[in-house]
Amino acid sequence: MSISLPDELPLAYQERMKRQFEANGEPLGPFLDSYKEPRTYGLRVQPGKWSRHETARRNAAALFGLEPVPWCPEGYYYEESSRPGKHPYHHAGLYYIQEPSAMSSAELLDPQPGELVLDLAAAPGGKATQIAGRMKGEGLLIANEIHPQRAKILAENMERMGIVNCIVTQADPHALAERFPSRFDRIMLDAPCSGEGMFRKDPEAVKEWSPEHVEACAARQRDIIRAAVRMLRPGGSLVYSTCTFNREENEDIIAHWLETYPEFELVRMERLWPHRHRGEGHFVALLKKSSSAPDATDAANGSASAQSGRRGGSRKGKGASGANAAAAAFRQYAEWAREHLPGLELPPGRPLLFGDELYYVPDTHPGARALLDDASAFSGLRLHRLGLHLAHLRKNRLEPAHALAMACTAADQAALRFDAAADDPRIAAYLRGEPIAPNPDQAAAKGWTLVAIDGLPIGWGKASDGMIKNHLPKGLRALG
């Protein structure tokens, strides 16, 4: 059931917004008129892939009618009818579909390569992938989501975008705060909110709105903030953002924050309004924790270790193998990579083995090393992604993980590759899960093959007998 905006906006919502605008000496009319306008559409490119592929850049600009988003160098508006989410470039992780206003949050956070960063409420992954793009594979990002299905989607999006240096956790914020006090250089808190900025694109958000819902959201935000402030190190920065318009979840939250936690200062606070900016609207505030603030590490009092009796949380529920087993598995991978993937250079880090699954986590940041050295740090947490998934270990053989293909920024990093234009019928067939015929000059090739679109990897195949057998995971195959 659709609604007709703005006529069917809740009257209580309109009255609240009228009071809010009048308090600022502004008319409500232009804001309400924005609901009569079409919603905006945006995508944000993955810089590591976008910068390397001129053909894809040129094609995307022409196909999607791209126009720059003023507040985000990687952001572009696109034409609704172009549907970039259906294009093979989306499968390749060339870009992430994201509402333009929402790009402002990570832009203000300004994460740097080599830092330890937390995205506390990260699903479905728009801000997390933007943060990771800015980190350029250096340092470590922990992206958390409390809801299981949303955490799964978050992990899938991190994989599609080729993110190497990210751990995806599924945990209550306070459980994380017990484990990681005073750890992070920067924290993104895109708080769960009443979603008033979603009204133009989601009629369900209109139906769910009520003054009581706003109050409940504000209470929840204050609760999550208690966890966030504990995890930020002295001298660190934090961005709080929402996609809602009322003061209760925005300016009033920040006022409460500064009153309750005097060790914080407000650096910058801004709103993107749909009647003033080309976007659905967003609230963003940047706060900084005093470098002289008390360190919260001692306050943990071993709370994390008290939970260490529960089993670890890989996808299969298996605990991590020992360092020697992981090192042996990584040597097997390194031997495979020298032959099949000589152009991919991993950042400094360490291998982790969960059952038959080999992962790799960058550990250049001292805080990241400390986390990985602490056996209890992740014990009992549900982990949906642990750095880069390198390989599946089978009896007497190794199969490269799909994530490893997506971590490649160009097809020429592989010794054997199949590369075709996006409109080649074999690309559509591959994305459906079908075997494909190689190019004529590679008809006799055998072995693991990196399948790519205009140089952008999209998955693995295995060449044999004049065909490339499809190794795209079944859950990622296109229907039809």
Alpha carbon distance 307, 180 (integer Å)? 13
Question: Is 145 labeled as ligand-binding?
Answer: yes
| Residue closest to 339 by CA, chosen among 296, 410, 398 | 398
Q: 466: Cβ–Cβ under 8 A, 6 or more apart, which residues? A: 437, 438, 443, 444
Alpha carbon distance 375, 347 (integer Å)? 22
Active site residue 217: no
Question: Is 121 labeled as ligand-binding?
Answer: yes
Chain centre to alpha carbon of residue 360: 18
Q: From edge to edge, which strands make up the β-sheet containing 417-420?
A: 417-420, 447-453, 456-464, 467-470
Question: Is 334 labeled as ligand-binding?
Answer: no
Specify the DSSP element, H or E, that contains 450: strand 447-453
Q: For 447, how many CA atoms within 13 A lie in the half-sphere containing its CB? A: 12
Structure letter (DSSP) for residue 475 = G
What tokens appear for 386 in the block? 């642990």
Q: For 311, how many CA atoms within 13 A lie in the half-sphere containing its CB? A: 9
Question: Is 126 labeled as ligand-binding?
Answer: yes
Structure letter (DSSP) for residue 282 = E
Alpha carbon distance 186, 153 (integer Å)? 23
| Helix axes of 148-160 and 126-135: crossing angle, nearest 10 degrees | 40
Alpha carbon distance 139, 125 (integer Å)? 18
Question: Is 114 labeled as ligand-binding?
Answer: no
Report whether 145 contacts 121 (CB < 8 A): yes
Alpha carbon distance 4, 7 (integer Å)? 6
Q: For 129, how many CA atoms within 13 A lie in the half-sphere containing its CB? A: 31
User: How would you class 205 by CB atoms within 10 Å of its CB: exposed for 0-12, middle for 13-18, buried for 19 or more?
Assistant: middle
Question: Is 323 labeled as ligand-binding?
Answer: no
Q: Which member of 72, 193, 217, 243 is catalytic?
A: 243
Alpha carbon distance 221, 225 (integer Å)? 6
Question: Is 363 labeled as ligand-binding?
Answer: no
Residue carrying the six token digits 């990579």: 337
Structure letter (DSSP) for residue 313 = B
Question: Is 459 labeled as ligand-binding?
Answer: no
Residues annotated within a binding site: 121-127, 145, 172, 190
Residues annotated within a binding site for S-adenosyl-L-methionine: 121-127, 145, 172, 190
The residues carrying an active-site annotation are 243
